[in-house]
Amino acid sequence: MKKYFLIPLFLFLSCQPPTAPVDDPNDPTSFTPKVEITEGPQDNTSSQNRTVKFSWKGNSTETGIKITTEFQFKIKTEDPSTDVWSNWDSSTTFLFEYLDDDKFTFDLKGRTAAGSESDVVSRKFTIDTLPSPAVAIFPVQKFVAKDNSFDLYLHLKNVNALMSMHTIIKYDPTKISVLSVDTVNYFAKKNKGTFFTIIDSINTGRIIVDLGIAMGSPKGLSGAGRILKLKCKNISDNLNTTVEILSAETIARDTSNQTISLKAFAKSTILGK
């Protein structure tokens, strides 16, 4: 009686590595999507222009069929709230206007019609229009429809060992209403510190702010970032107003109780739409 041994052959066949997918020139979704930034600030550069344009493209087959058909992008700072992707879209350019003085990262990715996503490509750049150190209300310009709410931020730029600050924020209470003022702690947490704030006179046209920094390693607060968030509302039929910092009422001190000489005070312009 003959015996047949098929198990080794079966095992041999089952252990062969799977065949790698082959790009089908007639099916662009079988290719790997790729994206490339073609216009915009170079990586790790600085600009004194608040307007920045980015352009990009996706890859195509040798016959010109688009592989990458849609794109997503985001422009973010160190503030976690800015880390938000745009909607998927086929457009290949975007103009960013009225950018604040800050460090930015532009991220871009694409996808095929079947939904396969590319790797993310990035550019890091800095907007630097104000001398340092400075204090500002950001964004520098905002368009808001009547009865809509919006956010403004008290921003410090390139301070060194800040321990305390007193300032007054001025606005027109017949044009906008200030709904709340809250501390933004992510900046202080970078130094392992905590803000202590006293806010007074909200909705009188003048917001009195007294700020202190506790703990921290090293002591005080150094660098740039947002420290206060103002939740506001447009209550005007024809909004054209500013929110500004009163320089004569502002004093900042460092960890040695020495006065910090602030070089600039930037205001925010709020317009109706």
Structure confidence by residue, pLDDT tens digits, 168-184: 999 999 999 999 999 88
Last residue of a domain, one of 97, 127, 157: 127
Taking alpha carbons only, the member of 243, 193, 246 closest to residue 223 is: 193
Last residue of a domain, one of 85, 110, 127: 127
| Residue that wins the pLDDT comparison between 63 and 122 | 122
Q: What is the mean pLDDT of the chain?
A: 88
Last residue of a domain, one of 107, 127, 147: 127
Same-domain check for residues 156 and 105: no
Would you say residue 7 lies in a domain?
no
pLDDT digits (tens, 9 = 90+) for 215-251: 767 788 888 888 899 999 999 999 999 999 999 999 9
Which residue type occupies 1?
M
* Domain around 230: 134-272
Q: Which residues contact 181 (CB under 8 A, 6 or more apart)?
A: 199, 202, 207, 209, 228, 229, 230, 231
Q: Taking the model in full, what pTM does it have? A: 0.80
Task: Say how far apart CA 268 and CA 81 lie, in whole Å.
Answer: 20
Same-domain check for residues 264 and 142: yes
Q: How many domains does the chain have?
A: 2
Would you say residue 15 lies in a domain?
no
Would you say residue 8 lies in a domain?
no
Task: Say how far apart CA 205 and CA 202 lie, in whole Å.
Answer: 7
- The pLDDT, as a whole number, for residue 22 is 53
2 has a pLDDT exceeding 80? no
Would you say residue 11 lies in a domain?
no
Distance of CA 190 to the CA centre of its chain: 17
Lowest average pLDDT, out of 64-78, 156-170, 187-201, 228-242, goes to: 187-201
| Residue that wins the pLDDT comparison between 101 and 15 | 101
Same-domain check for residues 139 and 79: no
Same-domain check for residues 122 and 145: no
- The pLDDT, as a whole number, for residue 17 is 46
Same-domain check for residues 178 and 51: no
Would you say residue 6 lies in a domain?
no
Rounded mean pLDDT of 145-155?
96
Same-domain check for residues 157 and 268: yes
